Amino acid sequence: MDHLHQAFSVRFTYTVFFTERIFDTTNSLLADFFSQQATADTRKKILFIIDSGVVDTHPDLPTTINAYFAQHTDLVDLVPELLIIPGGEAAKNDPNLVEKIVDAIDRYGIDRHSYVAAIGGGSVLDLVGYAAAISHRGIRHIRIPTTVLSQNDSGVGVKNGVNYRTKKNFLGTFVPPVAVFNDSRFLTTLDDRDWRAGISEAIKVALIKDVQFFEWIEANAQALAARDMTAMQYLIHRCADMHLQHISGGDPFEMGSSRPLDFGHWSAHKLEQLTNFEIRHGEAVAIGIAMDSLYSHQLGWLTEADTNRILNTLRILGFSLYQPMLDADNSAGVLKGLTEFREHLGGQLTIMLLQDIGRGVEVHEMDADRIRQAIATLKRQEQQAQLV
């Protein structure tokens, strides 16, 4: 039978920059980026979409952005409207926000050679990246993450998405940003929950890939909990570096069923939903890490001492490792997360567990009774801690 065969590859490159006060007129980093991107044949525009929570804590931000780009009119045209939208997971649950961003892209004539820039936490970055990816089949997007979680993990990766039909990231794309700018100044105004939440993703990647990094987190847990900025900057840089190395390692768009960077996530995604997203993603991941570490111990892979090291480090950082919705043991409870995780990945169920600290191993089935036992252990430990 006659047939045609096609094969091609597409090269993606982008840089994650680390800076402070990116829109200060004395900081040339952003201007230098646009200067390098400039072409003689087209004028480029930039549309900013900003997390309202960031504007609340940095009320001078819109004025600062306008002042910065007023000095660089030769490089790029700033869209006069700065679109401010609600942040947090609720942003990914609201289809009207996708329409609002697409409408602004249309009204202001943002084409494939122009930019959509998102300033905010991971949810806003996910949402804006998705809207940019589906407009004109892909508009260049710039990410300026403002939380620990987005600076060290989600904001430096290649995923965009929104929640749909009560399922997390059911609609989404794999489209890398053209650049990421991590501004440490935004971290100073985070509340303690958001400061802490992003650390769980660093623990996750350390546990499956790098024992030395976990040992560093363990040794610096008190400093991180006390909001030591030097420690946090190291953690973000190291975690982001490991995240980027993983993306370039062979399956950046997750064509297979393996997804090692989602250690602790199968239950976390479901727990977020069960709590109506009252729990932060990073808080749910911390619980998921604790559950899967206990499960690994039950299998005889992780020693009791190492399991306790993981749980103790999470608790020193301030995480609560039990949530009452874990006991919603019904058809819609946390165990349903296994089925939804498999459906989201496609193919067979693939869960990352720990053979040792720093060494992950994939399994293709999970025993419900062992999961319930891990939950019971976390509940008992939580109750004992409250009695002390």
What is the tally of structural domains in the chain? Answer: 2
- Residue where one domain finishes, among candidates 156, 189, 222: 189
**Do 310 and 166 belong together in one domain?**
no
The answer to whether residues 351 and 363 touch, using CB atoms and an 8 Å cutoff, is: yes
**Do 216 and 255 belong together in one domain?**
yes
Task: Find the farthest-apart pair of alpha carbons in the chain and give their distance in angstroms, rounded.
Answer: 75
Is position 9 within any domain? no
Is position 5 within any domain? no
**Do 178 and 265 belong together in one domain?**
no
**Do 170 and 182 belong together in one domain?**
yes
Q: 3-state class of 150 per DSSP? A: helix
pLDDT of residue 343: 77
Is position 33 within any domain? yes
- Residue where one domain finishes, among candidates 163, 189, 215: 189
**Do 256 and 209 belong together in one domain?**
yes
DSSP, res 108: T
The answer to whether residues 352 and 260 touch, using CB atoms and an 8 Å cutoff, is: yes
Q: Report how far apart, in Å, the C-alpha atoms of 324 and of each of 23, 128, 187, 241, 310 are.
A: 43, 33, 30, 35, 21
Q: What is the dihedral of CA 378, 384, 387, 388, to 10 degrees?
A: -110
Separation CA 78–CA 142 (nearest Å): 14
Residue corresponding to tokens 């729990």: 279
Q: Which phi and psi angles does 255 have, rounded to 5°?
A: -75, -25
pLDDT of residue 256: 58
The token pair that represents 44 in the structure block = 């480029």
The token pair that represents 152 in the structure block = 């060290």
DSSP, res 19: E
**Do 109 and 33 belong together in one domain?**
yes
Residue type, 186: F
Residue corresponding to tokens 């890398």: 176
SS3 content of the chain, % helix, strand, coil (to 5): 50, 15, 35
Q: Which of 348, 114, 363, 121 minimizes the C-alpha distance to 260?
A: 363
Is position 88 within any domain? yes
**Do 175 and 207 belong together in one domain?**
no
Q: Which phi and psi angles does 320 have, rounded to 5°?
A: -90, 130
Separation CA 119–CA 22 (nearest Å): 11
Residue type, 223: A
- Read out DSSP for 116-137? EEEEESHHHHHHHHHHHHHGGG
Domain that holds residue 26: 15-189
**Do 139 and 253 belong together in one domain?**
no
- Residue where one domain finishes, among candidates 142, 171, 189: 189
The token pair that represents 60 in the structure block = 């001078």
Is position 10 within any domain? no
Alpha-carbon Rg for the chain in angstroms:
21
Separation CA 327–CA 195 (nearest Å): 27
CATH of the domain at 26: 3.40.50.1970
Buried b (16+ CB within 10 A) or exposed e, 17-42: beeeebbbeeeebbbebbeeeeeeee
Separation CA 149–CA 198 (nearest Å): 4
**Do 177 and 239 belong together in one domain?**
no
Is position 47 within any domain? yes
Is position 46 within any domain? yes
pLDDT of residue 39: 77
**Do 20 and 86 belong together in one domain?**
yes
CATH of the domain at 309: 1.20.1090.10
Is position 333 within any domain? yes
**Do 205 and 344 belong together in one domain?**
yes
Separation CA 25–CA 15 (nearest Å): 21
**Do 120 and 238 belong together in one domain?**
no
Per-block mean pLDDT, blocks of 10 residues, the chain (388 long): 88 93 95 86 91 96 96 90 92 93 95 95 95 95 96 90 86 94 96 94 94 98 97 96 84 62 88 90 96 97 97 97 86 80 77 94 92 94 82
pLDDT of residue 189: 95
